[in-house]
C-alpha cells in the first residue's frame, strides 16, 4: 500500500512539473532560438554552443541578453548558414537586433516577426528570401533599420511601413518590389558594406 502511494505521489510530481507548471521565462526564448537552429544548416558549426538543455540562451555564442536574461540580439550575419526563418522568432519579445545578413536563408519572411515590438534593426539582406514583405512589419514601431535588399522578394512594399516614424534607413535595391516610395527614408546600396 505504501509503495503504491509513493508511485502515485511520484507520478503526480512528474506530471505537475512537466505539464501543469508554465515553462521558465528563459526556456521560451531558448525554444524559439532552438527552432531557428533546427531549421538551419550550419556547416561551420557557428551554432555549436546553442544547447537547448540550458535554462536560457544567454550563454550561447552570437546571442546578447539584457540584465534580466532576455534575448536582445541575434548576430548571425555572414555565418555561412542556409535554411529558413521560423515563426517562433516572433516570441523573442525583447529582441532589438536580428542580424542574419549575407547567408543563404531561403523561404519567406514570417509574419510573426511583426510581433517583435522592441526591434530596432532587421538585417536580412544578401540572402535568398522570397515572397512578399509581410504587412505585419508595420507593427514594428521602434524599427530604425530595415535591410531586405539582394533577396528574391517581389510584390508591393507594404504602405504601413511609411507609418513607422522611427524608420530611417531602408535598403530596397530590388527591382521586383513595387509600391509607395517611403518618403524621408534613406535608401543605400549595401554592396559597399
Note down the domain range covering 153: 25-192
1 within a domain of the structure (yes/no): no
Separation between Cα atoms, residue 140 and residue 125, nearest integer Å: 18
92 within a domain of the structure (yes/no): yes
User: Measured in whole angstroms, how far is the alpha carbon of residue 166 from the centre of its chain?
Assistant: 20
9 within a domain of the structure (yes/no): no
Per-residue confidence (pLDDT) for residue 168, from 0 to 100: 85
Nearest partner of 153 among 125, 191, 111, 180, judged by Cα: 125
Place of cell 542556409: 82
116 within a domain of the structure (yes/no): yes
Per-residue confidence (pLDDT) for residue 123, from 0 to 100: 97
Separation between Cα atoms, residue 35 and residue 38, nearest integer Å: 5
Its pTM stands at 0.79
Q: What is the domain-level CATH number for residue 64?
A: 3.80.10.10
Question: Per-residue pLDDT for the chain (193 aa), expressed as one digit of tens each?
Answer: 655 654 545 554 444 444 433 333 447 999 999 999 999 999 999 999 999 888 789 999 999 999 999 999 999 999 999 999 999 999 999 999 999 999 999 999 999 999 999 999 999 999 999 999 999 999 999 999 999 999 999 988 888 988 899 998 776 566 666 665 554 455 544 333 3
5 within a domain of the structure (yes/no): no
Nearest partner of 176 among 160, 152, 148, judged by Cα: 152
DSSP annotation of 64 reads: E
| Tally of domains in the chain | 1
- On the 0-12 / 13-18 / 19+ scale of CB atoms within 10 A, 134 is middle
55 within a domain of the structure (yes/no): yes
- Residue 50 near residue 37 (C-beta atoms within 8 A): yes
Per-residue confidence (pLDDT) for residue 174, from 0 to 100: 64
2 within a domain of the structure (yes/no): no
> In degrees, to the nearest 5, what angle opens at C-alpha 41 toward C-alphas 38 and 47?
70
136 Cβ neighbours under 8 A, 6+ residues apart: 111, 112, 113, 114, 115
51 within a domain of the structure (yes/no): yes
DSSP annotation of 69 reads: S
Amino acid at each position: 500500500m505504501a509503495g503504491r502511494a509513493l508511485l502515485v505521489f511520484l507520478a503526480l510530481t512528474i506530471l505537475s512539473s512537466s505539464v501543469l507548471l508554465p515553462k521558465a521565462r528563459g526556456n521560451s526564448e531558448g525554444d524559439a532560438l532552438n527552432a531557428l537552429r533546427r531549421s538551419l544548416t550550419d556547416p561551420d558549426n557557428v551554432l555549436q554552443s546553442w544547447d537547448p538543455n540550458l535554462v536560457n540562451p544567454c550563454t550561447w555564442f552570437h546571442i546578447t541578453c539584457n540584465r534580466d536574461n532576455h534575448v536582445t540580439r541575434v548576430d548571425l550575419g555572414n555565418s555561412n548558414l542556409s535554411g529558413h526563418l521560423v515563426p517562433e522568432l516572433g516570441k523573442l519579445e525583447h529582441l532589438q537586433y536580428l542580424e542574419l545578413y549575407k547567408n543563404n536563408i531561403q523561404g519567406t519572411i514570417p509574419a510573426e516577426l511583426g510581433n517583435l515590438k522592441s526591434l530596432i534593426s532587421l538585417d536580412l539582406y544578401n540572402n535568398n528570401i522570397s515572397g512578399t514583405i509581410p504587412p505585419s512589419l508595420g507593427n514594428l514601431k521602434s524599427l530604425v533599420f530595415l535591410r531586405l535588399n539582394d533577396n528574391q522578394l517581389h510584390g508591393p512594399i507594404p504602405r504601413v511601413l511609411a507609418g513607422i516614424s522611427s524608420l530611417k534607413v531602408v535598403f530596397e535595391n530590388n527591382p521586383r518590389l513595387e509600391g509607395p516610395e517611403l518618403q524621408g527614408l534613406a535608401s543605400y546600396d549595401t554592396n559597399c558594406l
